[in-house]
Amino acid sequence: QKEVEQNSGPLSVPEGAIASLNCTYSDRGSQSFFWYRQYSGKSPELIMFIYSNGDKEDGRFTAQLNKASQYVSLLIRDSQPSDSATYLCAVKDTGRRALTFGSGTRLQVQP
């Protein structure tokens, strides 16, 4: 069974710090990886996607992918209280368009 693993948290960081969120996946053939943010009671919203090994930056967010280690991470620089949410890692399954989601990491940014 294909799995996506995340630490459930909560991960607590002070305002202005860097938050580091991690995700591992079991399907070695997976090609694309997504980070979504989900506020309580709301649906997920896309932060960014990555498909090549290395880093991808978008504003305060940086996604990192290491396919050899089957590991993907999300760094949030200059964390703000508004970043407090659950962050979902999602992996596109090999051979189909559906996503497999991790259980999410709850991030708390302390003012």
Partner 1 sequence: GAVVSQHPSRVICKSGTSVKIECRSLDFQATTMFWYRQFPKKSLMLMATSNEGSKATYEQGVEKDKFLINHASLTLSTLTVTSAHPEDSSFYICSTSDGRAWDTQYFGPGTRLTVL
The site for partner 1 (CB under 8 A) is made up of 31-32, 34, 36, 41-46, 49, 51, 88, 90, 92, 96-104
**Cβ distance to partner 1 smaller for residue 83 or 92:** 92
What the block records as the tokens of 20 is 């580091």
Give the H/E segment covering residue 22. Answer: strand 19-25
31: left (phi over 0), alpha (psi -120 to 50) or beta: alpha
User: Which residues on neighbouring strands pair with residue 48, listed in sequence order?
Assistant: 35
Question: In angstroms, what is the minimal distance from the CB of 37 to partner 1?
Answer: 11
CA distances from 48 to 14, 38, 45, 110 (A): 23, 13, 9, 24
**Cβ distance to partner 1 smaller for residue 17 or 61:** 61
**Cβ distance to partner 1 smaller for residue 22 or 103:** 103
Residue 12 CB neighbour total at 10 angstroms: 13
Question: In angstroms, what is the minimal distance from the CB of 91 to partner 1?
Answer: 12
For the chain, state the CA radius of gyration: 13
Question: In angstroms, what is the minimal distance from the CB of 102 to partner 1?
Answer: 6
**Cβ distance to partner 1 smaller for residue 43 or 69:** 43
Question: In angstroms, what is the minimal distance from the CB of 32 to partner 1?
Answer: 4
